[in-house]
Amino acid sequence: MAENPNTRCGFVALVGAPNAGKSTLMNRLVGAKLSIVTPKVQTTRSRITGIAIEGDAQIIFVDTPGIFEPKRRLDRAMVTAAWAGVADADEVVVLVDAGRALKAAGHLDPDTARIVEGLKKANRSAILVLNKLDTVERGDLLTLTDALNKIYGFSETYMLSALNGDGVPDLRARLAKALPPGPWLYPEDQLSDVPLRLLAAEITREQAFLQLHQELPYALTVETETWEERQDGSVKVDQVVIIGRENHKAMVLGKGGARLKAIGTAARKSLGAQLGRPVHLFLHVKVRENWQDKPEHYSAIGLDFEE
């Protein structure tokens, strides 16, 4: 832990509509891949923390699930986790897809409007971040900034591209200066407090999302059942891919198990790169109907079960 009396430390919540780019931004801010990223909406299901050092400041970023109108129990748990991240944060960053907002003629999409209303009720200030600046003209960005700030008085506005990193250092530097004085909460070389079992499950779920594409059933999750450290420095990981219906099983397995094998191979390589050591990954598919209504599966993915 840092003992410098001039250190700063605090939490920054990244909130936004689904697919606004929160996970991509957090990975860029931290400088490592911690949150999984796919084109599928609602990819992030639980709060993922990423830790960055900026000068004498330790910034603890919280990548929250996208805030949207919940329809199912899992949706409600995800939205609750997102608002809990806001409540605990020292600073709040509202991420807006600039291209999407521009198409809406400077109006907020329903999900972002819902976020703004929640911030108003909580009397929370927030920083507006217009993401994907490379997809719109500069003049349009200025017009959009003016329009969105008339809707809600954001404390500041930043324009950036989380994908290529343009503008990200400026945001990180600003956040570091805004954090309260205090000791660092984590060792200098720690990038996250997410358990490795959960991180491994998320990496496999990412590959399932990417490889199944539009065929992917929403009611799919991945859980790490065993984690065995081996004497040669490698790790053996057993995971189960949980689906809600029997007729989804063949879809995940693929012909002769080829699709599941491909998911496992990609996940093993990604996890191995994350850990910096060999990984022996074994995947199994299980059908558990209505898993979204069972408390034990929520704790496995870092969410609170709501009655």
Co-location of 27 and 146 in the same domain: yes
Co-location of 40 and 81 in the same domain: yes
* Mean pLDDT, the chain, integer: 85
pLDDT, tens only, 120-164: 888 899 999 999 888 888 788 888 888 888 888 899 999 999 999
Give the domain range for residue 83.
8-178
Co-location of 171 and 200 in the same domain: no
pLDDT, tens only, 199-245: 899 899 889 988 886 655 566 889 999 999 999 999 999 999 999 88
Co-location of 108 and 251 in the same domain: no
Report the 10 Å Cβ neighbour count for 173.
13
pLDDT of residue 2: 47
pLDDT, tens only, 154-192: 999 999 999 999 999 999 999 999 999 999 999 998 888
Do 52 and 30 form a contact (C-beta atoms < 8 A)?
Answer: yes
Co-location of 174 and 209 in the same domain: no
Co-location of 15 and 76 in the same domain: yes
**Dihedral of CA 31/187/190/305: which sign?**
negative
Burial class (CB in 10 A: 0-12, 13-18, 19+), 17: buried
Co-location of 166 and 201 in the same domain: no
Placement of tokens 């949150």 in the chain: 35
Residue 305 falls inside a structural domain = no
Range in 41-50, 61-70, 121-130, 271-280 the model is least confident about: 41-50
Co-location of 146 and 291 in the same domain: no
Closest by CA to 239, choosing from 282, 292, 288, 297, is 282
Residue 155 falls inside a structural domain = yes
CA–CA separation, 102 and 140 (whole Å): 8
Give, as one character, the DSSP assignment of residue 135: G
pLDDT, tens only, 70-79: 777 777 877 7
Co-location of 154 and 261 in the same domain: no
Co-location of 222 and 147 in the same domain: no
Residue 40 has pLDDT above 70, yes or no: no
Residue 131 falls inside a structural domain = yes
Residue 102 falls inside a structural domain = yes
* Count of domains observed in the chain: 2
Residue 253 falls inside a structural domain = yes
pLDDT of residue 23: 86
Q: Which residue has the higher pLDDT, 41 or 50?
A: 50
- What CATH code is carried by the domain that includes residue 133? 3.40.50.300
pLDDT of residue 68: 66
CA–CA separation, 101 and 97 (whole Å): 6
pTM to 2 decimal places: 0.79
Co-location of 173 and 203 in the same domain: no
